[in-house]
Amino acid sequence: MRYLLDTHAFLWFISENHGLSEIAKDIIKKATNEIFLSVVSVWEIAIKTQLGRLQIEEEVGPFILSELAKNNFLPLPITISHAAYVTKLPDIHKDPFDRMLVAQSNVEEMTLISGDQPIRQYQVEIAW
């Protein structure tokens, strides 16, 4: 199966945060699953780091690349189809990062690993 990590799910998994559900951990750790990290999450991490809302001890780019390799995660670029799909989403959630993750999840037919309650209001398959 193919799964897309929400930004917090990625950060919680790599930091072994107890907020990540056992179901999410099991999915991410299962070797036969393909786990993707969107470029939109990298962008969100970079912005939050720059604003001081998130602490990362090294540069964001090398940090992300290292974690992708270490965890066998795959990068997911943002495509025109992803960006255009956002227009089909109801105006539920104002967070542009979350809206793009929902769009990517739907376009790519991936289950989104997310504990974010507002995202659950969209028609998107969620695992948590």
The length of the chain, given as a count of residues? 128
> Tens digits of per-residue pLDDT, 40-91?
999 999 999 999 999 998 999 999 999 999 999 999 999 999 999 999 999 8
Q: Does domain 2-127 have CATH number 3.50.50.60?
A: no
Q: How far apart are CA 111 and CA 121, in angstroms?
A: 15
Of the pLDDT bands very low, low, confident and very high (cuts 50, 70, 90), residue 37 is: very high
Q: Sign of torsion, CA 108 113 117 120?
A: positive
pLDDT score of 94: 84
What is the reported pLDDT for 93?
80
Determine the pLDDT at residue 123: 94
What pLDDT sits at residue 115?
Answer: 95
Distance between alpha carbon 33 and the CA centroid of its chain, in Å? 15
Exposed e or buried b per residue across 97-118, where buried means at least 16 C-beta atoms within 10 angstroms of its C-beta? bbbbbbbbbbeeebbbbbbbee
pLDDT tens for 5-32 read 999 999 999 999 999 999 999 999 999 9
Residue 67: which of 115, 8, 10, 128 has the closest Cα?
10
